[in-house]
Structure 1
């Protein structure tokens, strides 16, 4: 464990405080991934077991990835803009800044108490009760600690959700952040009812035909740096329309590039709503892609990060490769 200076409490103190409250709004970051959704739903089920009223919010008015719809409670997720209650507490999960909860910020502001549980290292906090451990492979692990701190046996629904959170943020237990602790927590979650085969099949083995068509397009324009250390590709709005792909079909592209032999950094750029979304992945311990992501206004972890580029795709294709090159320089991006 390596909590950040912004941490001002303990998991046990958060558990004690939440027990005194009755209603909760839970929300993660915009464009939620498995850790984000799994953490929110996992905690929600545990709070309901304690007799609490919970609502899990989506930071933007957009559907979640199809592969996450199997999670218990996923059908109850609502867009934050449609939520008009004032909860006793707003719990931000897997998200470090107010900007990243987008349309849920107004709910955050009017809540009685604000709580953050996260594993992203940032310089600020947006909550009175804040617990951040950047060494945790997934926010779902911290949620599991919180559920245990309630003094209850985690419900099966929480086990399924938290296991999925851990599985996805460790890349099926393949990323560098996969620690011995991650396997110990996964074992506990399985004992409490999580089904690894079911989670893997839903998240990773249910790809659409359109996702394969989009991958072929992406690979056809893949650029590999002459040094062989990094590779980059992109997809356009036209690519999405022509193949019939949707946003969730782009999620596997980055790992395809990352899997190439010799590649230390992989990058995928995607046109979306007048902006360019970037995904970054790293292999090994030599490069920290979160440094690059933060330089462009994004964030993440050493081996997995993302950003939104404020410019055209052509501009991004000039700027981002130059920044990736600098990651390998002795001075880095400093």
Structure 2
């Protein structure tokens, strides 16, 4: 597998580049995508972006001041995409032309020949920052903010176990160069509108604890979003973090009903539990500490019972109950 230097050498010869992230994007996906696009443009390259989902409102600043480019891409790459299934309609539109995947997921499922995958990176944005430095790009404040956003969101503001000494050094470099860390932290972790707070209260009322106190679960039916008027992107998961942090809980599950009625599960885990091990049983994936998966063909009631069953089976397998 190529390393950062080899990927930089490859991209140096490219122009008219399209950067794609996964659908339902988080801060790392968007920070990596917009950070790379901005960095490539600082080198005089023409670069654009695509995401199959709308940009969450709280991450709108990542795109601010970045004009669109109307061109036929000569080269296409993905960032933070662990599986082609996560690309949404981007796979149908651009799948045949994707030449490179840059990702940090340990369960990356190859969908292109050239891949730079580094599970030791806490965020794909770490890799993008290393790449831009290798390319000799000259990042502006907006670029630095994008990359900081990617790192701070995928590390839970440097609280998660995926944080390494390199993670902190790279984040410090971004701050030294001018990344507005305080503003970004407040925007992501502290700013909430009233509708989102009301939605979170309703989420918390669904809280259940089971498996001898080793698992917690909340449910987010569409009725919560519709009745409160909350924007999905404004619901930052603070209820989930609170439920996951209950003393003794090893596995936390959030079940969310999408607009089409399908159910998506988001999981968090504390050692010795592995969130990805649960998600993979439903065709999903992610990291040891955080993962996600679809629960196909189930309504909320069915998804709740099935996830309870699988979590109990898994905790018995690893000897935790």
Query: What TM-score do the two structures reach when normalised by structure 1?
Result: 0.89
Match of 1:316 in 2: 303
Q: Distance in 1 between matches of 2:4 and 2:66?
A: 28
Match of 2:107 in 1: 122
The answer to whether residue 144 in structure 2 is matched with residue 159 in structure 1 is: yes
Q: Is the 8 A contact 1:299 1:306 kept in 2?
A: yes
The answer to whether residue 31 in structure 2 is matched with residue 38 in structure 1 is: yes
Q: Distance in 1 between matches of 2:156 and 2:109?
A: 27
Match of 1:240 in 2: 225
The answer to whether residue 132 in structure 2 is matched with residue 147 in structure 1 is: yes
Match of 1:279 in 2: 266
Instruction: Give how far 1:31 is off.
Output: 0.2
Instruction: Give how far 1:110 is off.
Output: 4.8
Q: Distance in 1 between matches of 2:264 and 2:179?
A: 33
Give the stretch that moved more between structures: 10-19 or 123-132. Answer: 123-132
Distance 1:76 1:297, change over 3 A: farther
Match of 1:66 in 2: 57
Give the stretch that moved more between structures: 251-260 or 182-191. Answer: 251-260
User: Which runs of structure 2 are paired with 1:287-298 in the superposition (5 Å)?
Assistant: 287-298=273-284
Q: Distance in 1 between matches of 2:226 and 2:92?
A: 34
Q: Distance in 2 between matches of 1:47 and 1:248?
A: 27
Please state whether the residue corresponding to 2:61 is helix, strand or coil.
coil
The answer to whether residue 39 in structure 2 is matched with residue 53 in structure 1 is: no
Match of 1:259 in 2: 245
Match of 1:180 in 2: 165
Aligned length: 316
Please state whether the residue corresponding to 1:59 is helix, strand or coil.
coil
Which string of whole-angstrom CA distances, capped at 9 and with x for unpartnered residues, describes residues 156-208 of structure 1?
A: 32211111100000011111111111111110111122121111111112211
Q: Distance in 2 between matches of 1:107 and 1:122?
A: 24
Give the stretch that moved more between structures: 33-42 or 229-238. Answer: 229-238
Match of 2:192 in 1: 207
Q: Distance in 2 between matches of 1:57 and 1:123?
A: 20
Please state whether the residue corresponding to 1:267 is helix, strand or coil.
strand
Q: Distance in 1 between matches of 2:35 and 2:256?
A: 30
* Deviating 4+ runs (over 4 angstroms): 72-78
Q: Which of 17, 25, 31 is the matching residue for 2:10?
A: 17
Instruction: Give how far 1:228 is off.
Output: 1.5
Please state whether the residue corresponding to 1:69 is helix, strand or coil.
helix
Please state whether the residue corresponding to 2:256 is helix, strand or coil.
strand
Q: Distance in 1 between matches of 2:176 and 2:269?
A: 32
Instruction: Give how far 1:103 is off.
Output: 1.3
Distance 1:323 1:41, change over 3 A: same
RMSD over aligned CA atoms reads 2.0
Instruction: Give how far 1:226 is off.
Output: 5.4
Q: Distance in 2 between matches of 1:35 and 1:234?
A: 25
Which string of whole-angstrom CA distances, capped at 9 and with x for unpartnered residues, describes residues 306-325 of structure 1?
A: 11111111110110011112
Match of 1:5 in 2: none
Q: Distance in 1 between matches of 2:75 and 2:226?
A: 41
Match of 1:92 in 2: 78
Please state whether the residue corresponding to 2:110 is helix, strand or coil.
coil
Query: What TM-score do the two structures reach when normalised by structure 2?
Result: 0.92
The answer to whether residue 207 in structure 2 is matched with residue 222 in structure 1 is: yes
Instruction: Give how far 1:233 is off.
Output: 1.4
Distance 1:45 1:300, change over 3 A: same
